[in-house]
Structure 1
Amino acid sequence: MPKNTKGEQSKNKLIECAAELFMQKGYNATGISDILAGTGLPKGSFYFHFPSKKDLAVKVSIYYENKIGVWILNTAKGRVWEDFIEVLIGQMIEEAEGENFFGCPFAVLGLEIAFSEPDIAEYYSKSMKKLIDIFTSVLEYSRVPAINASAIANRAFAIYEGYLLYFRVSKDINVLRMMLTDLISINKS
């Protein structure tokens, strides 16, 4: 595996810091100076890698898609729906108890930029669709007929995102526990 160059390391540092700040403070409330302060990199480093904050936001969406997509795919492997949901939401609850969980970046950031930056929001929308596809696959693995799996996955995703947004606003971990209960039983209704 090739070693990351210093430039690649700086670029990744900017993306990771921006991803964290966008989730904590929001896209609009995070300035380039905040990202530079968080990384300790000079201003020129930012503009060497990204023509604008908007271009960085696209890379952040790809970063989250890779990070969350891999996590959810790995969580899904070989699990039926109920086990998948227990592990997935259990990990979210654990993170929330450690105050390291801020909700779903696709929904949080997608909502914030949906109308002001529709071209960036499109990336977040595609990532959400990929999560629905994972939900569909797990339901099909759980022997839900394919004809029903897609509709149930869409409903499950709406419940998932609704609870994650509610958790973000309320900061009440019990909201995640309610989500766990509702999602476990979704394919039984």
Structure 2
Amino acid sequence: MHYDPSNGGRLVRPNIKGEKTKEHLVECAAHLFLQNGYNATGINDILSKAGVSKGSFYFYFASKKELAMEVADYYSRIKISEISKTAEGRTWEDFIEKLIGDMIKRAKQKKSFGCPLAVLGMEIAFLEPDIADRYYESIKKVVGIFADVFRRSGISEEKAVLIADHALAIYEGYLLFYRISKNIDELEKLRRDLKAIEGSLSL
């Protein structure tokens, strides 16, 4: 609970149900944007998946773009958290085995659609550049995580940053190939080539 000055300073119970509805809308939109594309997903599609009324949508969001901003923040939180937790205490080879291994498991269950940061960022890059900027900032954080793992693996500071950029290009490239082809072999190649980066270095 919190104090509301406009209510005489009395304690006010937060609208838990309202916040859950908003989060539910963001999660449903995030899934549809990634699976079907931002432009191909209309507000009615989101309402149908979320099971809420149009009035409820406009209570929380003034427009589809405003919702898309929230989706960008949502994907940033979950992907950065996922990659960071996977990276904790691991060297590069172990990190890649866990990260891509989990991705392959999801792909076999038909629950993997590529990297949302790159997929959605590319789609709206010229249409909604302010939203695309949010995805770009998140992708830079992924580079930072990669660089940290390289440092922990004994790579020098200068090389770690350069190689992390290269690793990201490989990572996003193969995920794009996978999204287009739906072929899990592309993820196997991703695992192979990311592991090979470390072995090809002269430390």
Count the aligned residue pairs.
Answer: 189
Any gaps of 5 or more consecutive residues in structure 2? 2-12
Q: CA deviation at 1:187?
A: 2.1
Q: CA deviation at 1:115?
A: 0.6
Unaligned regions of 5+ residues in structure 1, if any?
none
1:81 maps to what in 2? Answer: 92
Q: How big is the alpha-carbon RMSD for the aligned residues of Structure 1 and Structure 2? A: 1.3
Aligned to 1:39: 50
Matches for 1:135-154 after TM superposition, within 5 Å: 135-154=146-165
Q: In the TM superposition, what is the alpha-carbon distance from 1:130 to its structure 2 partner?
A: 0.5
How far the C-alpha of 1:142 sits from its partner, in A, is: 0.7
TM-score if structure 1 supplies the norm length?
A: 0.97
Higher relative contact order (CA 8 A, sep 6+): 1
Report the Cα distance in structure 1 between the residues aligned to 2:177 and 2:92, rounded to whole angstroms. 23
Partner of 1:187: 198
Equivalent residue number for residue 125 of structure 1: 136
State how 1:9-158 maps to structure 2 within 5 Å: 9-158=20-169
SS of the aligned residue for 2:38 comes to coil
Q: Distance in 2 between matches of 1:69 and 1:121?
A: 16
Q: CA deviation at 1:4?
A: 6.5
Look at both structures and tell me which one has the larger radius of gyration over its CA atoms: 2
What per-residue deviation string (whole Å, max 9, x for no partner) do you get for residues 117-157 of structure 1?
Answer: 11110000001001010001111111110110000000000
The 4+ residue runs of structure 1 with deviation greater than 2 A are 1-4
Residue deviations 1:98-118 (CA, integer Å, cap 9, x gap): 000000001100110001111
Q: Check 1:8–1:82 CA distance in 2 against 1; reply closer, same or farther (3 A cut).
A: same
Alignment of 1:169-188 (within 5 A): 169-188=180-199
Provide the rounded CA distance (Å) in 1 between the counterparts of 2:183 and 2:55. 41
AA aligned to 1:37 is S
Deviations 1:52-74 (A, max 9, x none): 11111111011111111111111
Partner Cα separation in structure 2 for residue 48 and residue 114 of structure 1 = 27
TM-score normalised by the chain length of structure 2 = 0.91
Identity among equivalent pairs (%): 54
